[in-house]
A = this chain, B = another copy of it.
Amino acid sequence: MAVPTQDLPARVRIYEVGARDGLQNEKATVPTEVKAEFIRRLADAGLTTIEATSFVHPKWVPQLADAEQLYPQVADLPVALPVLVPNERGLDRALALGARHVAVFASATESFAKANLNRTVDESLAMFEPVVRRAKDAGSAVRGYVSMCFGDPWEGPVPVHQVVRVCKALRDMGCDELSLGDTIGVATPGHVQSLLAGLNEEGVPTSALGVHFHDTYGQALSNTLAALQHGVATVDASAGGLGGCPYAKSATGNLATEDLVWMLQGLGIDTGVDLGRLTATSVWMAGRLGRPSPSRTVKALGTTTQSHQE
């Protein structure tokens, strides 16, 4: 009964952000051993790209202050384990531990660049330039996150050309992949497709693009469908729907990996993920955090792994 809609990719790479983006936004600090177990379980569920932690200064993100302790505990897993690096100091820390995949995080808007990085957009791009160059020289793959690609809590709708400018700058620096973030979850499918088309027109190929949607207004999965229909084959998601962003108003709820996998399975799109194992992992993590998962699929499947999906 799985009938692909037009021109969908045959395979989607899920870029799992729960262990970083999710746990970063928990009030309670999760023990390092629990984080490591979470990542191991995600890998066991079939996820092949699992963002592990962040080398932001512990003062800003105390929840991930154990990056040096955590990374070596999972480094042997046969999966890609990207880490966030805000600057050269963060890169040094990541490379010293043998990280092979790093990510910088830019903003499409001045307001959020100021709020999140305390810099203008151009100042932040200048900060990233040596990070990207040195990471590439060290043999690392580099992802560039771009926040506020659709709307911004201070500035309202974000023009496509403004996002394209930041994306091109990151590509010119050497970023292998960009992740287009709808940080406050306001995007709708037509806007998604017009941004993707705008990027293509300016020479950024769809193959270099991932999407990162939030479910603040319930739009994450329909926006993902629109991106898949444009050919996007890398989708960010968070196991159990963990996460958000403490510096952005209304930035609740990453797209839940389980809800994404349910749709992709139904569409006959390969992900390599075992939905039962993944759901069990999110139920386990919810137990550690002391609150239920916001993922609708996790709620529906509960602790069982049965489903009637076609």
Shortest distance from the beta carbon of A305 to any chain B beta carbon, whole Å: 14
- Of B190, B194, B221, which one neighbours A218 at CB under 8 angstroms? B221
In the complex, the chain B residue whose C-beta lies closest to that of A152 is B308
Q: Is the CB of A267 within 8 A of B188?
A: yes
Q: Which residues of A contact B (CB under 8 A)?
A: 1-5, 150-153, 156-157, 159-160, 184-191, 193-194, 215-219, 221-222, 224-226, 229, 250, 252-253, 256, 259, 262-263, 265-268, 295-297, 299-300, 307-310
Shortest distance from the beta carbon of A235 to any chain B beta carbon, whole Å: 12
Instruction: Give the oligomeric copy count.
Output: 2
Q: Is the CB of A310 within 8 A of B191?
A: yes
Q: Is the CB of B188 within 8 A of A265?
A: yes
Q: Is the CB of A225 within 8 A of B189?
A: yes
Contacts of A190 in B (CB 8 A): 2-5, 266-268
In the complex, the chain B residue whose C-beta lies closest to that of A194 is B3
Contacts of A194 in B (CB 8 A): 1, 3
Q: Is the CB of B188 within 8 A of A266?
A: yes
Name 29 A/B residue pairs within 8 A (Cβ), A-sorted. Answer: A1-B159, A1-B191, A2-B190, A2-B191, A5-B190, A5-B193, A151-B309, A157-B309, A157-B310, A184-B308, A185-B300, A186-B266, A186-B308, A186-B309, A187-B266, A188-B262, A188-B266, A190-B266, A191-B266, A216-B300, A217-B259, A218-B259, A218-B262, A218-B295, A219-B263, A219-B266, A221-B221, A225-B225, A252-B296
Contacts of A215 in B (CB 8 A): 296
Bound-complex Cα distance A151 to B10 (A)? 24
